[in-house]
């Protein structure tokens, strides 16, 4: 696979630390901005070609000068950010989408995910993590879960898609992203039959892959990861504490 990566650097720090202003991605952890941990992991991944950071409108690029990264400025939402990065790189190959508020990501976790993706050809690879896996490492953590016949899963924070597939599906991609934290919202997009099956816990991963593939005219593959830290993004003060504990080597068990 030819793979470029986009780091999404949106979000406001004040939503996690009320006393801070500016981008969430610059919240300090261990004396370093949160995004720097993500960049370190990506730079160590030999499978990646270009790595680009997408900054939302109103963000001062000088705040990110220390990263030494290529920046795409003034993006307006996630879909626009990915679109702009694809246009700034090359429309061939795949784009790895990573959120800047996932500082616990590691090169090993990324490599494991990409290795799993290589086992089966697809256009879109969507990372999922079991509730059991997250609870085993981070008990009591509040995540949004979908209860399927195969198990209980939450979405991860690293995904891979063929660039051409993304460009063809920007409108639907925006709708899916807007509902990403609402299982019922996502299922409404798939149809009432899926919603009913979900209520009675009859939905399977395979059926969701097939339906999503039909909607997007693409082959969609859910990839289960054994790295529960990839299911934790820093959206709340307690998430930030988990990340700080983890990165300081004193994670709670």
pLDDT digits (tens, 9 = 90+) for 38-88: 999 999 999 999 999 999 999 999 999 888 889 999 999 999 999 999 998
pTM: 0.92
- The token duo for 245 is 């504990």
Distances (CA, A) of 36 to 89, 171, 195: 21, 31, 40
pLDDT at site 49: 93
Residue by residue, what is the 3-state secondary structure of 94-151?
EEEEEECCCCCCCHHHHHHHHHHHHCCCCCEEEEEEEHHHHHHHCCCCCCCCEEECCE
**Polymer length of the chain:** 253
Could you confirm whether domain 3-243 is CATH 3.40.50.300? no
Q: How many other β-carbons are positioned within 10 Å of the β-carbon of residue 45?
A: 18
Of 25, 42, 53, 34, the closest CA to residue 108 belongs to: 42
More confident residue, 187 or 13: 13
pLDDT at site 253: 34
pLDDT at site 252: 40
Give mean pLDDT, residues 101-124.
Answer: 96
Q: What is the pLDDT of residues 220-241, one digit of tens each?
A: 999 999 999 999 999 999 999 9
Of 152, 144, 151, the closest CA to residue 186 belongs to: 144
Domain boundaries, the chain: 3-243
Cα angle for residues 217, 211, 114 (degrees, 5° grid): 70
Cα angle for residues 10, 177, 33 (degrees, 5° grid): 20
Residue 15 DSSP class? G
In whole angstroms, give the CA distance from residue 156 to residue 218.
20
């Amino acid at each position: 696979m030819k793979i470029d990566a986009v780091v999404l650097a949106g979000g406001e720090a004040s939503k996690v630390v009320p006393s801070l202003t500016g981008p969430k991605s610059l919240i300090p952890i261990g004396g370093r901005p949160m995004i720097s941990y993500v960049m370190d992991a990506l730079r160590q991944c030999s499978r990646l070609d270009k790595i680009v950071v997408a900054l939302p409108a109103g963000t001062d690029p000088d705040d990110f000068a220390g990263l030494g990264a290529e920046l795409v400025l003034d993006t307006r939402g996630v879909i626009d950010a990915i679109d702009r990065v694809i246009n700034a790189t090359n429309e061939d190959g795949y784009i790895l989408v990573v959120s800047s508020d996932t500082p616990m990501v590691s090169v090993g976790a990324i490599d494991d995910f990409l290795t799993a993706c290589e086992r089966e050809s697809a256009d879109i690879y969507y990372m999922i993590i079991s509730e059991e896996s997250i609870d085993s490492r981070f008990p009591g953590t509040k995540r949004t879960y979908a209860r399927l016949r195969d198990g209980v899963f939450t979405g991860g924070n690293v995904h891979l898609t063929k660039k051409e597939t993304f460009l063809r599906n920007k409108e639907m991609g925006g709708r899916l992203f807007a509902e990403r934290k609402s299982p019922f919202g996502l299922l409404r997009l798939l149809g009432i039959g899926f919603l009913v099956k979900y209520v009675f816990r009859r939905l399977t991963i395979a059926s969701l892959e097939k339906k999503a593939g039909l909607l997007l005219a693409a082959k969609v593959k859910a990839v289960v990861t054994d790295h529960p830290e990839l299911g934790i993004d820093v959206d709340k003060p307690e998430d930030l504490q988990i990340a700080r504990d983890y990165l300081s080597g004193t994670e709670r068990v």
